[in-house]
Amino acid sequence: MNPGRFITLEGGEGAGKSTQLRALAAALRAGGLEVVETREPGGSEGAEAIRAMLLTGGDDRWSPRAEALMFAAARADHIEKTIRPALARGAWVLSDRFLDSSRAYQGQGDLDDADILTLHALGSAGFLPDRTLFLQLPAEQAEARALIRDGTASDRIGGRDRDFHRAVAAAFVRFATTEPERIRTIDASGDAADVTGRLLAALADLLP
C-alpha cells in the first residue's frame, strides 16, 4: 500500500485555495489515488461545531486567547477523527487551511508564533503536514478577489481590516522562508489551470 499523505493549502483570503483544492483533488484522483478533501476550521463533526462558533458573531465574541484555544481544539478533533484514519488507509488528505493559518492569524497579537506551536504540541502532539502549498497573490489582487467573492467583509475573522490581512500575508512568507522543505510558495496569479499545474509540480516528489 502506498503511504497516505497529508497536504495543506494555505494563504490569505481570495487566493483561490478552495477552487484549487477541488482541482488538485480531481487531478490526484485521476492518477488513481484516494483523496479526502477537508477544511479548517472544521473537517469533523466536533470541529464543524467549533467553526460555527468561531466564524459568527461580533468582533469581541472571543478573546484572542480563547479563539486560539478553540482553533487548536478543533484541529485536535479534525486530526483524530478525520485525518489520521484516512492516512492510515493510504488516502491523500487535502486540507483547506491548517496550523499555519493559526500561526498567521492568531500568532501575532496577544500570542506569538511560539505560543501557537505550544498549543499545537499540546492539542495535536505537533502533527505536521507532509507538504504545505502556500498560494501567494499580490495584495491588490487578493483584496480584489475577496471583494468580488464576498461583496463585503466575509466572517468574524475574514472581515478584519487591511493591515491585519497584510500582516497575515507577511507571516505566511516568513514561514515559507524558514521552512522551505515543508512549505512551498506557489504563484496563485493567472489562469486557474496553470495554478493547478504548479501545485501538482510541487507534489511530484511525493507521488507514488
Residues that bind ligand TYD (CB under 6 A): 13, 17-18, 39-41, 55, 71, 96-97, 101-102, 105-106, 155, 157-158
One-letter amino acid for residue 189 of the chain? S
Cβ-count burial of 80 within 10 angstroms (0-12 exposed, 13-18 middle, 19+ buried)?
A: middle
- Do residues 98 and 175 make contact, with C-beta atoms less than 8 angstroms apart? no
One-letter amino acid for residue 95 of the chain? S
| Partners of residue 133 on adjacent β-strands | 9, 184
Nearest-approach distance from CB 158 to ligand TYD, in angstroms? 4
Nearest-approach distance from CB 29 to ligand TYD, in angstroms? 22
Q: What DSSP letter does each residue of 9-66 carry, written as one string?
A: EE-STTS-HHHHHHHHHHHHHHTT--EEEEESS-SSHHHHHHHHHHHSS-TTSS-HHH
Give 35 or 96: the residue with its C-beta nearer to ligand TYD. 96
Give 70 or 87: the residue with its C-beta nearer to ligand TYD. 70
In this structure, what C-alpha cell is assigned to residue 183?
512549505
Nearest-approach distance from CB 8 to ligand TYD, in angstroms? 10
Give 105 or 134: the residue with its C-beta nearer to ligand TYD. 105
Pairwise CA distance, residues 127 & 62, whole Å: 26
Give 13 or 77: the residue with its C-beta nearer to ligand TYD. 13
Give 126 or 208: the residue with its C-beta nearer to ligand TYD. 126
State which residue has the least CB distance to ligand TYD.
Answer: 105
Nearest-approach distance from CB 137 to ligand TYD, in angstroms? 12
Nearest-approach distance from CB 48 to ligand TYD, in angstroms? 11
Give 106 or 132: the residue with its C-beta nearer to ligand TYD. 106
Q: At 183, which helix (H) or strand (E)? A: strand 183-187
Nearest-approach distance from CB 102 to ligand TYD, in angstroms? 3
| Partners of residue 135 on adjacent β-strands | 186
One-letter amino acid for residue 16 of the chain? G
